[in-house]
Structure 1
């Protein structure tokens, strides 16, 4: 039981009337001392328990870091829209920057990621009766959102693949050009995922880097776990890579470390770090004299090429393992024959 003291009976009656009115309207919140930091810890833990991937959890934590730095000790119930505006302004003028050139503003995309994540966290506070309203929802997004990712033309994609054909990991680059995510390519294993006789590859594991540590887990979305057909060129490239790895294993002897059977390994069987794979992608792009786009934009390229070829939208989405919510709103069942057709059209036109 809590008690509250007032100077006069009139003050007490006024408080009681106001409180009863708030209760009747459903917007009464019992006073609390929880800080912004404490609530964000609670929200992050609820996301972890809900099964969010380590990479997603890291994104949440990074997005909220400016909020914690500037507002972490502030009582949650005292948080105002003006406070969130202060964080937004500090990010845009560079005073909230943790790394890089001091005073250089953070991008609108980074600011909006902070706002979106904070809104999610404060939505939970509203639902749990900690605060009356979500003050982050009262703050406008930063203008100047980053432009969508770039994409190669079919000719540029073909030029990249021509140069990549001379690389030891030619098969891996073909997977990248066909729209597999970086983590999906690096997570592939010969015995578990690759069926050369059946000409299919199954995406079951994603290998990513989170905070400098290598993490293996399920694909990014439920739709990310998928089986894709392989065209003849991809099967041939995979057979060459497996033969080469067998020769490297014999040459290295006891020094060979490839016990996991990963498809993408170095000459002594060690899986590369994801960052190295991205660096090699950029190196081959420069050698091919094509624009050095982000590795993830190779995925955007394959989507663009497939759509330009008239391949059905639901096939393109299923091929790339798009988010299940998008699939449910837009697409229907995809048949393996349609996927094989998509694979061949993509191979013939890039």
Structure 2
């Protein structure tokens, strides 16, 4: 008679339909104890799955209360995690990636059975079908975030998306405006109703949503300061007012006199538009009124700001760039003007200084030329001065006008160049020399001959001394 199995060992038996079934008591993520059942066509297959479930039970890994498919879990993750805790724009972006890419390709796979090979094959197929590498990176990032949550909920043992490899991705080079191009744009936009907004973008590096979300209550015209506390974005087909992108985006700025004057003009135009609109005015009509509004008091569409920006550039022949790249211009200008990295980070509203350095700060040809010129002066100027002095000494040796005009000097110099002092042209062929040679060359030759004769004399003296001692 077989001994009775102990609690927790599980049992395997054959069903009436011919399949095998295993049963085991396990704990769920909610802490409840439930009977977990495993099915399979072969007893060996069921036994292996039962052994895996026992290992999880011993290690304290709970068993999911239901069998999740990846598509079902992604919808659950978007609804219960992303939507309540992330910005609306983030939710819209994640939802689009899940709906368009992940669910059609991977949605029917079991969450627990999802493997690195399956995800890698899916990503490779997407790239071969024409998907950009950047889009593939976004897909992997969204899937990785969802599986990280599943891992925290102890639904999976590892995050397979972290092990997927992708080709390298190179961002397109960004060439910010020069100061001249920015000045040209501001001069061209002087008569535009959004001219004060363009000043805020170029001078302070504000985001477009922060600019259109600026309220009169955020501006202190007496103390000459203003602050950014909210932004306006279009999300899911509607304009929404929300907090700034990050906590670092909540910052205070000194209000420059030129900006203050333009804002005062903007205030006067808004009051006039409000009187003309009358009851049709849609604004708040209080201190929380937006600074930049339409003729009826509605918020300005951020995309309309971009359209006005591009229209001005095209009309006046200014090099076209994206509106967001004005922030790159401000970051680069702060660097060129010697602002510290910390100050630039605060002005641009970045949470991490690496974002300021690696993304929004660019090198310029003028700044590189200036600094390399300084390096060249520091390293090469001394050598240049030394060569100039050496040339000056040689020139002084060759110039007769700088030498004393006495008979001995003249006789010594002319004897080398023109022959003996007793003849107009010497008859001694050994004294005949080309007048093209310099005094410096001749003096060097004399020194060499003198050294050679002196060496020979010393060797002769030593030989004579040795011979005398031997006697």
TM-score (norm 1): 0.81
Q: Are 2:85 and 1:59 equivalent residues in the alignment?
A: no
Inter-partner Cα distance in structure 2 for 1:241 and 1:212: 28
Rg bigger for which structure? 2
- Which residue of the partner structure matches residue 273 of structure 1? 301
Deviations 1:319-347 (A, max 9, x none): 11112xx159999xxxxxxxxxxxxxxxx
Inter-partner Cα distance in structure 1 for 2:162 and 2:279: 59
Deviations 1:33-80 (A, max 9, x none): 201122112322343465311011112212333001222232212222
Q: Against the structure 1 CA distance between its residues 87 and 131, is the aligned structure 2 distance closer, same or farther, given a 3 Å change threshold?
A: same
SS of equivalent to 2:191:
coil
SS of equivalent to 2:85:
coil
Deviations 1:209-240 (A, max 9, x none): 11221111110001111111111111011011
What is the correspondence of 1:78-117 to structure 2 with a 5 Å cutoff? 78-94=113-129, 105-117=130-142
SS of equivalent to 1:76:
coil
Greater shift, 26-35 or 154-163, is seen at: 26-35
Inter-partner Cα distance in structure 2 for 1:189 and 1:246: 14
Q: CA deviation at 1:180?
A: 0.6
Deviations 1:172-230 (A, max 9, x none): 1111112111110111111x211122212211111001122111111000111111111
- Which residue of the partner structure matches residue 153 of structure 1? 178
Q: Is the 8 A contact 1:314 1:330 kept in 2?
A: no
Inter-partner Cα distance in structure 1 for 2:337 and 2:274: 42
Q: Is the 8 A contact 1:200 1:227 kept in 2?
A: yes
- Which residue of the partner structure matches residue 238 of structure 1? 263
Inter-partner Cα distance in structure 2 for 1:3 and 1:87: 31
Q: Against the structure 1 CA distance between its residues 162 and 215, is the aligned structure 2 distance closer, same or farther, given a 3 Å change threshold?
A: same
Q: Are 2:85 and 1:74 equivalent residues in the alignment?
A: no
- Which residue of the partner structure matches residue 183 of structure 1? 209
Q: CA deviation at 1:306?
A: 0.5
Inter-partner Cα distance in structure 2 for 1:327 and 1:224: 13
Inter-partner Cα distance in structure 2 for 1:8 and 1:166: 81
SS of equivalent to 1:77:
coil
Deviations 1:278-334 (A, max 9, x none): 1111112223423322211111111111011110111111111112xx159999xxx
Q: Against the structure 1 CA distance between its residues 196 and 15, is the aligned structure 2 distance closer, same or farther, given a 3 Å change threshold?
A: closer
Q: For CA contacts below 8 A with separation 6 or more, give which structure has more relative contact order.
A: 1
Inter-partner Cα distance in structure 1 for 2:339 and 2:330: 11
Q: Is the 8 A contact 1:200 1:230 kept in 2?
A: yes
- Which residue of the partner structure matches residue 70 of structure 2? 36
User: Unmatched 5+ residue regions in structure 2?
Assistant: 1-34, 358-471
Inter-partner Cα distance in structure 1 for 2:219 and 2:296: 20
Q: CA deviation at 1:7?
A: 8.6
Inter-partner Cα distance in structure 1 for 2:151 and 2:326: 41
Inter-partner Cα distance in structure 1 for 2:86 and 2:110: 27
Q: Is the 8 A contact 2:205 2:348 kept in 1?
A: yes
Aligned length in residues: 318
Q: CA deviation at 1:247?
A: 2.0
What is the correspondence of 1:254-293 to structure 2 with a 5 Å cutoff? 254-259=279-284, 261-293=289-321
- Which residue of the partner structure matches residue 342 of structure 1? none
Inter-partner Cα distance in structure 2 for 1:312 and 1:107: 37
Match of 1:313 among 341, 346, 362: 341
User: Unmatched 5+ residue regions in structure 1?
Assistant: 95-104, 332-350
- Which residue of the partner structure matches residue 171 of structure 1? 196
Match of 1:201 among 209, 223, 226: 226
Inter-partner Cα distance in structure 2 for 1:79 and 1:26: 22
Q: Is the 8 A contact 1:84 1:136 kept in 2?
A: yes
- Which residue of the partner structure matches residue 327 of structure 2? 299
- Which residue of the partner structure matches residue 402 of structure 2? none
Inter-partner Cα distance in structure 2 for 1:203 and 1:46: 30
Greater shift, 41-50 or 216-225, is seen at: 41-50
